[in-house]
Amino acid sequence: GQQVMQIPQYQHVQEGEDFTTYCNSSTTLSNIQWYKQRPGGHPVFLIQLVKSGEVKKQKRLTFQFGEAKKNSSLHITATQTTDVGTYFCAARRGYDMRFGAGTRLTVKP
């Protein structure tokens, strides 16, 4: 079946430092979605990537979809304490959708 690997599992940064989480699939994907879950909260949709090599930006967040549509990354520039939470990728292949294990980001002020 489809495997979705997300690394790192944890990331602790100083406020102002950059942060990146990576999502890799064993199979070619239809699309990939990214979600953020604050501690004690539920996942909130951030963005969806569909096209090969696609790059999208949301303020300090940059999302990339690999050329082969098997991997993706989320990069946060100059982290802030409000960025704290767990970031999940969700990889879709056809109708099958799998979440990565998530990367828990903590930010030290």
Does 59 help bind another protein (rule: CB under 8 A)?
no
Asked whether 37 and 86 are in contact (CB, 8 A), the reply is yes
61 to 36, 52, 76, 109: CA distances (angstroms): 12, 19, 5, 19
**Per-residue contact string for residues 19-38; x = within reach of another protein by CB under 8 A:** -----------xx-x-x---
Asked whether 8 and 74 are in contact (CB, 8 A), the reply is no
Find the binder of another protein among 45, 51, 58, 67 (CB under 8 A). 45
The contact set with another protein (CB under 8 A) reads: 30-31, 33, 35, 41-45, 48, 50, 88, 90, 92, 95, 97-102, 104
